[in-house]
Amino acid sequence: MADIQPFRGLRYSLGPNADLSQLLCPPYDVISPELQLELHQSSPHNAVRLEFGMDLPADSAIDNRYTRAARLLEEWSSSGTLLIEEEPAFYLLQEDFSQQGHSMTRRSILAAVRLEEFARKIVLPHEETSQGPKKDRMELLTATGANLSPLMSIYRDHSGQVRAIIDRVSAEPPLARADYDDSHIQLWAIADKTTVQTVSKSLKDVPVYLADGHHRYETALQYRDMQKAGGNQSENAARNFVMMSLIEIQDKGLLVLPYHRAIRGLPQGELDQMLALLKETFDIQPLDVRLDDTGAAVTHLEEVLDKIAVDKVSIGLLNASEGTASLLTLRNPPDASSPPLQRCATQVFGRSILEPVLGTQQAAVERGALRFTHDSGEVYRLVRSGDFQLGFILPPLSLDLFEEVVLSGERMPLKSTYFSPKLPTGLVINRLV
């Protein structure tokens, strides 16, 4: 049974219909060094200074980007830059954006969700995690004692009551707005006790699927246990919850894109081994387009992948040495009764092609042989430049298959999904101390 509660959010105090355009930032894992600097320069109060502060040459164990984030959070709170909500509230977030020329709207409820061990099957993951990001997020969480950015999660609204509340609230003037990362954002607070109770009651019997934020969720579990061991035993303490953005699975703006792969630095023997595995595992169909046709190879591959039947596993291949693009179709595809994980392109690629040559995906990343990107054009540029030997264009994962994998209790490999757009940091902060 999910325990989904309102919370007293910490928000920028800019008055009614506040414009947060210069104050928001993306989550840490998509901030490049260039964007990090740009955001720091955009405003002395941009949320990046909390979420992903700059490293400095003189940093030490007692003065570093984590401790500076903690000090800033206290300074902004005491100076009035940030104000705490008077009453516990849910928050409605609406994001209007464009995808391939189509206007889309995604709406979600920001809430405090009780942390649960995955074995209880109340909060369910879908992706594997790695240690590096968890260590980083634990240092920030321990220093600040706050959820600075919401995890993205998915639920099913069986009653339709939450959807009706969202429709009603979104017709009112927003609390804040922002033009951010090609999206127009609006935020409302929902503090009416009857409405709050309706939301909590409507969602108490539905499982919550983690979409984006696995590392932060596992870090929050660790932080909870650490606080409990230190004597904080109250079951309703804030550290027992984590801030999530909850999106209904049938929301028309819920968009899941693929992460693609690019391979480099393989000695000839390993490259030959990988190409041989491709021939053994897939039927290979060369496409009538070459890599020197600027971008046309990727565009054509994505158009072909969009038309492939859902019961097939297909991947696009860019080969730098041959200058060619090909369609790979799994020679012996699993049927509908097969475990859902076996029907995921990232799983097939990892188990059949990558791991026999390079070991785990994490090992391949650490070696520098594997790069992930959600930008298919970047895959083309990497392979076209000759810096990477092979590029793999993966299809998006259907939400139906996503739900099957989650409910099966299995996990897909790292970087199997890219839920777009990423949720911004800085709309609401959830203090745990």
Cα 253 to its chain centre, rounded Å, is 15
Q: Which residue in 432, 301, 433, 307 sits closest to 379, CA to CA?
A: 301
pLDDT value for 215: 93
Residues 426 and 24: their CA atoms lie apart, in Å, by 5
Give the pTM: 0.92
Range with the poorest average pLDDT among 12-26, 95-109, 296-310? 296-310
pLDDT tens-place string over residues 112-157: 999 999 999 999 999 988 888 899 999 999 999 999 999 999 999 9
CA 105 from centre of chain: 18
Alpha-helix residue ranges (DSSP H) falling in 212-369: 214-229, 268-281, 296-307, 345-349, 355-358, 361-367
Q: How confident is the model at residue 310 (pLDDT cuts 50, 70, 90)?
A: low
Query: What does the pLDDT average to over 193-206?
Result: 94
d(CA 380, CA 393): 9
pLDDT tens for each residue of 3-47: 999 999 999 998 877 899 999 999 998 899 999 999 999 999 999
Residue 133 pLDDT: 86
What is the set of domains in the chain, with CATH numbers? 4-255+420-431 (3.90.1530.10), 259-416 (no CATH)
What is the Rg, in whole angstroms, of the alpha carbon atoms belonging to the chain? 23
Query: What confidence tens digit (pLDDT) does each residue in 362-399 have?
Result: 899 999 999 999 999 999 999 999 999 999 999 999 99
> Of 319, 271, 315, nearest to 292 (Cα)?
319
Is the confidence at residue 307, as pLDDT, over 90? Answer: no
Token match 């209790």: residue?
409
Residue position matching structure tokens 């190879």: 297
For CA atoms 68, 151, 168, 9, the dihedral sign is negative
CA angle 98, 101, 104 (to 5 degrees): 35
Token readout for 426 is 């800085």
Integer Cα distance of 166 and 164 in angstroms: 5
Tokens of 404: 């099957």
